[in-house]
Amino acid sequence: MSDTPVHGTWEPEPAARWEDAFLTGNGRHGALVHGDPGDDRIIVTHHTLVRPGGGERARPPRLADRLPALQDRLLAGDTTAAEDFTDGRPLQWVQPFHPAFAIRLRSRVGDRRSYRRRLDFTTGEAIARCADRTSRVFVSRADDVIVQHLTAVSLTVDVHLDPRLPGAPATLAVGHGALLTPQGADLSLRARYPGSDRACTGVTVLAVTGGRTTLTPPGARIEGARAVLLLTRVRRHRGELDVTAETRALRELPSSYDVLLGRHLERHRTAYTRVTLDLGADPAERALPGSALLARPHSPALLERLFAAGRYHLLSSSGLNPPRLTGLWTGTWDTAWSGAFTHDANLPLQTASAPAAALPEVTDALASLMHRQLPDWRENARAVFGARGVVAPAHSDGESGHSYHFSREYPLHLWTAGADWLLKALVDHDDIHGERDARTGAVLAEVARFYEDFLIRTDADGHLVVVPSYSPENRPANASWGAINAAMDLSAARHALRTAAAYHPGTADAERWLALADRLPPHRLNADGALAEWAWPGLEDAYDHRHLSHLYAVWPLDEINPYDAPGLAAAAHRALALRGAENDSAHGYLHHALIAARLRDADRVGRALAAVLGGDFFHTSLMSAHYPRRDVYNADAAHTLPAVLVEALVQSTPDRLVLLPAVPPSCPQGELRGVRTRFGARVDLAWSPDGARAVLTPTRTVRVELRTSSGTEPLDLVAGEDRVLTLGTW
């Protein structure tokens, strides 16, 4: 598979910009590889690298004693009441994500005419070759180390660790270390953050085959060698780090590139190859370099490669944490929006494909982040709302889960739906595997307890009222940002309460939670016949916005669908049609496509994909940008695109399978293999204008409802027995 262009990409020139560097990572360490044989730069990153700046000490605002008065004012019609529901602090971003340093390798290179660099998705290797030398780089999932191997007939190269990356603070206190060893040399770099007791330290050990090694502080020179193996790790820490212990640990690893790669492949290749997409693209287009393929936005070969690259980058950026706004990578200290974990759309969109596309490594990383931050989520609930349970923040740096990023225009501390959205992927994972994780059930119970304490106000009809309520990141056309009964908040509360009850069946808690869910009000239709973004009468919709929070009930939930609630589905479709693209954010287009797929609107899915593919959103690294014309490095499009294609081809709930609901016009034929369903079956699907064929491999015996363009029928599955479905039309 590694020789198939679908499962990799290549370029005929080195990367001139860090945004175009090929990416490799293991969910902890990351590397951006430029591939220049004369002056290669491997930028080292790590999920823990965030710059202190006050966020490490910030706490949520203590506003609980003022909450009843705010609720009174909002319910009495004061549409600006929430604007002063604050402790007066200025907007504070979370600690910004930053790179560690670059490993610089300078050498004299002769013949460059045969130059080629490529990225192999199946192995995670970034490989650069020319007549004089070969460089191979990967980040090991088995040994948590960045591995680089250089080979040549006679290799002369200068190596040093360079902290001078764009945006690095002028007052960054940097210290270097260099030591000759019998194997080659040990290099180290420590950078202490300005005004902080925190630092990050990187260590690179060199094992040299042949030739001569000398120190050239702050680096080393290797002359006449046949090969050099470099092993690198970075640590963020307080106080001093024992560099000797770090180098000793690296020296204890195997000194063979092939052995290290083999240990890594047992984990990486197995995960990457679980799901594949083949759109029957032209072999000549498949063979093109990524830069040339990106210039052909209508090519099935481009969609194939971006689907594969999206799964590769998502897997590679997930481990200790799920992906940040930039995945696991950045080449600047001025990372946009702090390179945060942004929970009010970006992170859930990026991880949306993980359950169905068989990447439990990603859902495990998401769970890890959530469970580490639960104490902070509890403090958010107490401080802002005076409630038990948990409230997730809208932004996190990976260390703190406190809700402190908010302002008048972005009152994110009022948003209560975040925990439910983050938990959705974990619930789907449990459905797929047929076993409920007790840890997920425990968090759901805490979310339900929050709603028990928070949902105490009622309207004239006796329905519970979500007040204050916030629809990220929009506001009513005739009111301020903090409002009442945002559609997302209503759906999230209902879903969290009912799901918590399902994880705790037969208990008194479950009975209370179900009763509470039943008291929430229904969704409202506005004068345009669209599902209103706020169910409170009098609040008017503002349509031109990048977020689609109000259609949370359609996707990722299944509360509103064309089968069980066709009237509400039609109103949701009307709301989707009225929604503008605002500033052309990639996440807005793909969120739009995900909702359209659930509503069986193939043309709208196709138009949203076309806007991204034709908008110059992708760098030659196949990592994406937030805006058109490759403006602002951002992983939303790269990681979300596979989810769109999966949703357009296969959808499932615990009791329903929908095949080919919204196939984009640009995908008239293809094969999607390995998708997992929420009723515990693997699906291999092939389709063409002549019909379709699906092979289901169930892990449990179950009856589900099969939905196709031909209608509905019951489908009985027996654990361990393949079931073949043939569709004449789709």
Q: Could you give the domains of the chain?
A: 5-50+98-269 (2.70.98.50), 64-91+317-580 (1.50.10.10)
**How large is the average pLDDT for residues 106-120?**
87
Predicted local confidence at residue 163, as pLDDT: 97
Predicted local confidence at residue 506, as pLDDT: 97
- Give the contacts of 63 (CB within 8 A, at least 6 positions apart): 85, 86, 87, 383, 384, 413
Can you list the alpha helix ranges (DSSP code H) found in 189-242? none
Predicted local confidence at residue 1, as pLDDT: 45
Q: What is the distance of C-alpha 284 from the center of its chain?
A: 31
* pLDDT tens-place string over residues 313-334: 999 999 999 999 999 999 999 9
Query: What integer best gives the mean pLDDT of the chain?
Result: 97
**In the structure encoding, which two tokens stand for residue 516, read together?**
């509470």
**How large is the average pLDDT for residues 130-155?**
95
Task: With beta carbons less than 8 A apart as the criterion, state whether 311 and 297 touch.
Answer: no
Percent of the residues in the chain that have a pLDDT greater than 70, as a whole number? 99
Q: What region does 287 belong to: left with phi over 0, alpha with psi -120 to 50, or beta?
A: alpha
Predicted local confidence at residue 461, as pLDDT: 95
State yes or no: pLDDT of 583 exceeds 90.
yes
Predicted local confidence at residue 281, as pLDDT: 97
Q: How many residues does the chain have?
A: 730
User: Which amino acid is residue 237, in one-letter code?
Assistant: H
State yes or no: pLDDT of 2 exceeds 50.
no
State yes or no: pLDDT of 433 exceeds 90.
yes
Predicted local confidence at residue 5, as pLDDT: 66
* pLDDT tens-place string over residues 175-227: 999 999 999 999 999 999 999 999 999 999 999 999 999 999 999 999 999 99
* pLDDT tens-place string over residues 75-106: 999 999 999 999 999 999 999 999 999 999 99
**In the structure encoding, which two tokens stand for residue 8, read together?**
């990799």
**In the structure encoding, which two tokens stand for residue 541, read together?**
């919709």
**How large is the average pLDDT for residues 699-715?**
96
User: Which amino acid is residue 402, in one-letter code?
Assistant: H
pTM for this entry: 0.97
**How large is the average pLDDT for residues 550-568?**
98
Q: Grade residue 114 by pLDDT with cuts at 50, 70 and 90.
A: confident
What is the enclosing helix (H) or strand (E) of 603? Answer: helix 602-613
Predicted local confidence at residue 109, as pLDDT: 79
Q: Grade residue 4 by pLDDT with cuts at 50, 70 and 90.
A: low
Give the number of other CB atoms < 10 A from CB of residue 628. Answer: 17
State yes or no: pLDDT of 232 exceeds 60.
yes
Predicted local confidence at residue 112, as pLDDT: 74
State yes or no: pLDDT of 464 exceeds 90.
yes
**How large is the average pLDDT for residues 248-252?**
97
- For tokens 């994972």, the residue is 429
Report d(CA 487, CA 470) in Å as an integer.
Answer: 9
